[in-house]
Structure 1
Amino acid sequence: MSIVQRFSKSFFYLALFPAVIVLSAWQGWAWWSWATAPPVPKSSPDEALDVDKTVKILIPPGSTSKQIGSYLESAGLIRSSNAWDLWARWLNTQNKAVFKAGTYQLSPTQSLVEIAEQISKGSVVQLSFTIPEGRNLKQMAAYFESQGFFSAQEFLAATKQIPRDQFPWLPTGLPHLEGFLYPDTYKIASGGITPQKIINIMLKRFEEVALPIYQQNPQQTKMNLLQWVTLASIVEKEAVIPAERPRIAGVFTQRLQKGMRLEADPTVEYGLNIQQTADQPLTFKQVKTPSPYNTYLNRGLPPTPIASPGKASLQATLTPEKTDYLFFVARYDGTHVFSRTLAEHETAVAAIRRQRVQQNQGTNPQPN
């Protein structure tokens, strides 16, 4: 081969080398553009995320970026976990690859970069939960477990840890937080939900809503905080019709002042962990079963609240109706018959029981 031929061949390869580099770069860019593009393209640049296309995905605490990429690819939210890994590595060089645990609402119309930004910002789904007035700790525990937050056992164990360092107003000597977890609807970030986090949120709401009612009322000296919440919890469990709350609170206040037993069915139910119904009321044996919470056997208030009272019951307990009624019995429509004497009360009880029997037999009840 002549020198000219050898030179021509070498020149050809030298000229080809940049072309190969350019081609490889173009192929790499084409792959990257494909890998980071939304799996489901938007029909227009301004199109909002289609709610029907969104996917809820949980990023567990401690997940690595590689694991997150696998979760996203399996869910059809990104095209390539390898591309995710490359992007996470680049973010790491910029000190930005801090992916946060939680539940995210993502869409396959988002690009890989947009999803990475959302997870790195911790823009998690807002969860909500509702605790109605009158729920006790065991009912709350069952609810949280049913919602998939955590187990009932975890929650109940956490309620026995009294955070007086954070909430110094909590009464001393509490065995658990019954009554002080304020009933309400809450919205929380889905990331890192723990029993203690939920408990702190509910105690904070009690501090914001309930505590000022007690602190600003001139009658607060008649009851300490624990007594107030305990009596309010009994009022909450007894009252069905809002208008009757102050009167029921007045009856219980009268009985306490006269040294009478409260004789409140909900306290017996709480102590025995049972719930009576219209067709299965408390039995004589249950009422006579000893328990620190049995106000048929014990004078005064039970040792702790029996449920979480709402604002209306807390207010009614501080400002009860002034009444000479000492007894009441529930009708089967949520209202109560109030009586001044035991004889009147026994007559009312007999009439209501007779009415119930007639209803169960399918006959028309006679008016009282």
Structure 2
Amino acid sequence: MKKNKNLWNALSAILIFLAAGFFFFVVSRVPQLVLESLEYGSGPEIQVQIPPGRNAFQVAKDFADTGIVDNPQALARWFSYFEIDRKIRPGTYKLKKGSPWEVAKQMLEAEPKTASITIVPGETWQNLPEVLSITHEELKLLLEDINIFPERLRPFLPDKEEDRLAFLLPETYQVVPGQSSAAQVIRSASKAWWNKIGFEAVEYDGVKNASDMLEVATVASLVEKETAIEEERPVIAGVIMNRLKLGMPLQIDATVVYAWSLRGEKITRVLHSHLEIDSPYNTYKVSGLPPGPICIPSKESWLAALNPNETPYLFYVADKGGRHLFSRTYQEHLKAIRKVRNQTDSKSSNQPVDSE
């Protein structure tokens, strides 16, 4: 009986100890949390930005710099406690000034405001600055900095800044609004290009150096401008390669359009007079490939340039629907042109051009 009484006393002591500990926690901690949540509850709303790639401590320090919180170390700890550090999203936030706990709680529910910037396939050096809301000089300065590109891509970059545009993947990118938006797009688009195209080009498609990469980029840009039909892209890439092997001029209208655009002239229909322009991009007057890409190619055009079809064709002409009729000989090509012109005026051809 005495033994049972001693056991009961021991259990009672343990229960009293646990109850006291719980009471102490409630008394000491809960008011603190309540005070923390109320202390700055009516604080002013402040706009803060989280750039891409920032970790939890960097974000906490950025927030402290804006005055939204006083203790960045405590905020970083609360980020970790709420697991915000694992899912920080870049963007612009509007938060109320508060304690580290309150600011962290706001971040749990806050949705970032971002801006969408779209690079479309076929975009050119002349037009991209407007898309990025910067000047040509600012774009050139961004592209000069090889550190903006993925590390593994850098050895394959061409020397000319405008040629580096080909290594941006056409997509829609979410960026934090502000002066660095253009840099964010270039960084994200070149990373996407390397992950979806560049890595395989280097590892599996035989691209060995920057010269190889520039050649493929140039062919891809020509394919991009010549057709919007996916299944035709490898065929047109094959035609380009066939003409290059035979030493035939490519005679691609899009290169003439690009040559004139470099002089500030916008032409929508290539006439015979346009073919007289002296430019290394004029593939009617200069044999071989132009010196660099004439636009930003799509993923599909890149894949076509990396893996062109083995085809007997040397010529093609577009019909009224935008599809192409392919020919082995010049005589077949002339027949195809007549067939198309019987339907409507030819939209494009890689041989005869409209006369004035």
Q: Output the CA distance in 2 between the equivalents of 1:238 and 1:36.
A: 60
What corresponds to 2:86 in structure 1? none
Which of 311, 317, 331 matches 1:343?
A: 331
Is contact 2:283–2:289 with CA below 8 Å preserved after alignment? Answer: yes
What corresponds to 2:191 in structure 1? 204
With over 3 angstroms needed to count, the CA separation of the structure-2 counterparts of 1:103 and 1:249, relative to structure 1, is same
Identity rate of aligned residues, in percent?
A: 30
Q: Output the CA distance in 1 between the equivalents of 2:294 and 2:267.
A: 15
Is contact 1:142–1:152 with CA below 8 Å preserved after alignment? Answer: yes
Which of 92, 112, 117 matches 2:70?
A: 92
Q: Output the CA distance in 2 between the equivalents of 1:297 and 1:115.
A: 69
Which of 120, 135, 138 matches 1:152?
A: 135
- Shift, 1:315, TM fit: 1.4
Provide Cα deviations, 1:268-327, integer angstroms capped at 9, x if missing partner.
Answer: 1111115654xxx20111122111111111111111111111222111112211111101
Matched residues, number: 274
- Computing the radius of gyration from Cα coordinates, the structure with the larger value is 1
Q: What letter matches 1:308 in structure 2? A: I
- Shift, 1:59, TM fit: 5.5
What corresponds to 1:289 in structure 2? 277
What corresponds to 1:229 in structure 2? 217
Q: Output the CA distance in 2 between the equivalents of 1:325 and 1:212.
A: 30
Is contact 2:227–2:233 with CA below 8 Å preserved after alignment? Answer: yes
Q: Output the CA distance in 1 between the equivalents of 2:290 and 2:309.
A: 22
With over 3 angstroms needed to count, the CA separation of the structure-2 counterparts of 1:143 and 1:346, relative to structure 1, is same
Provide Cα deviations, 1:185-243, integer angstroms capped at 9, x if missing partner.
Answer: 22334466243332222222222111123123355469711101111111111121111
SS, match of residue 316 in structure 1: helix
Q: Output the CA distance in 2 between the equivalents of 1:301 and 1:330.
A: 21
Segments of 5+ residues of structure 2 without an aligned counterpart are 1-37, 51-65, 77-89, 348-356
Provide Cα deviations, 1:68-111, integer angstroms capped at 9, x if missing partner.
Answer: xxxxxxxxxxxxxxxxxxx959x43777799xx963356xxx79
With over 3 angstroms needed to count, the CA separation of the structure-2 counterparts of 1:132 and 1:194, relative to structure 1, is closer
SS, match of residue 154 in structure 2: coil
Q: Output the CA distance in 2 between the equivalents of 1:266 and 1:225.
A: 21
Provide Cα deviations, 1:27-55, integer angstroms capped at 9, x if missing partner.
Answer: xxxxxx7994499xxxxxxxxxxxxxxx9
What corresponds to 1:301 in structure 2? 289
SS, match of residue 178 in structure 1: helix
Q: Output the CA distance in 2 between the equivalents of 1:160 and 1:283.
A: 34
SS, match of residue 179 in structure 1: helix
What corresponds to 2:155 in structure 1? 169
Is contact 1:102–1:192 with CA below 8 Å preserved after alignment? Answer: no
Q: Does 1:178 align with 2:178?
A: no
Q: Output the CA distance in 1 between the equivalents of 2:342 and 2:250.
A: 25
Q: Output the CA distance in 2 between the equivalents of 1:131 and 1:93.
A: 40
What corresponds to 2:93 in structure 1? 104
SS, match of residue 293 in structure 1: coil
What corresponds to 2:204 in structure 1? 217
- Shift, 1:112, TM fit: 6.6
Q: What letter matches 1:169 in structure 2? A: P
With over 3 angstroms needed to count, the CA separation of the structure-2 counterparts of 1:175 and 1:132, relative to structure 1, is closer
Q: What letter matches 2:154 in structure 1? A: P
Q: Output the CA distance in 2 between the equivalents of 1:357 and 1:299.
A: 28
Is contact 1:162–1:174 with CA below 8 Å preserved after alignment? Answer: no
What corresponds to 2:84 in structure 1? none
Is contact 1:102–1:122 with CA below 8 Å preserved after alignment? Answer: no
Q: What letter matches 1:232 in structure 2? A: A
With over 3 angstroms needed to count, the CA separation of the structure-2 counterparts of 1:300 and 1:357, relative to structure 1, is closer
SS, match of residue 169 in structure 1: helix
Q: Output the CA distance in 1 between the equivalents of 2:244 and 2:171.
A: 30
Q: Output the CA distance in 1 between the equivalents of 2:258 and 2:102.
A: 49
SS, match of residue 92 in structure 2: strand
With over 3 angstroms needed to count, the CA separation of the structure-2 counterparts of 1:88 and 1:58, relative to structure 1, is closer
Q: Output the CA distance in 1 between the equivalents of 2:155 and 2:191.
A: 11
Q: Output the CA distance in 2 between the equivalents of 1:275 and 1:321.
A: 33
Q: Output the CA distance in 2 between the equivalents of 1:330 and 1:322.
A: 20
TM-score w.r.t. the length of structure 2 is 0.64
Segments of 5+ residues of structure 1 without an aligned counterpart are 1-32, 40-54, 62-86, 146-150, 360-368
SS, match of residue 137 in structure 1: coil
Higher helix proportion (structure 1 or 2)? 2
